[in-house]
Amino acid sequence: MLSLEEAISFLHHHKQTSLISHLQSLAPETRVLLLRQLSCLNGCFPEVFHPQKISLPPYEPFTSPCQTQPQLYEIGLQALQSHQALLILLAGGDGSRLGFARP
């Protein structure tokens, strides 16, 4: 299991600094549980923190908006179903922790 100092270093290294103050504020028994989880992440999931770079196929940009909202919705659904688009939903303020400018 990681020590508190090792966990702090691990979180700094993986740019997860918002978790450090939370970790330090936990009761000792709860902190131990989180340290155990972080220990597993340290060895088991490096790809979570350092995903591989991929090249994306070329795409055609939208140059003019569709006349109606249902058309846009249908285009989006078709793109998702044919694996030509990706949808990422961020909720609960996790955006800033994941490196976005704001939640």
Query: Among candidates 21, 20, 16, 25, which has minimal Cα distance to 8?
Result: 20
pTM above 0.85, yes or no: no
Task: Please tell me the predicted confidence (pLDDT) of residue 92.
Answer: 60
Q: Over its length of 103 residues, how does the chain's per-residue pLDDT go in tens digits? A: 888 898 888 888 877 888 888 889 999 999 999 888 888 775 555 555 556 677 777 877 665 655 667 788 888 889 989 988 888 766 666 666 667 666 5
- Domain extent listing, the chain: 4-49, 67-103
Task: Please tell me the predicted confidence (pLDDT) of residue 14.
Answer: 76
CA 27 to chain CA mean position, Å:
26
Task: Please tell me the predicted confidence (pLDDT) of residue 42.
Answer: 58
User: What is the rounded CA–CA span in Å between residue 76 and residue 9?
Assistant: 41
Task: Please tell me the predicted confidence (pLDDT) of residue 38.
Answer: 82
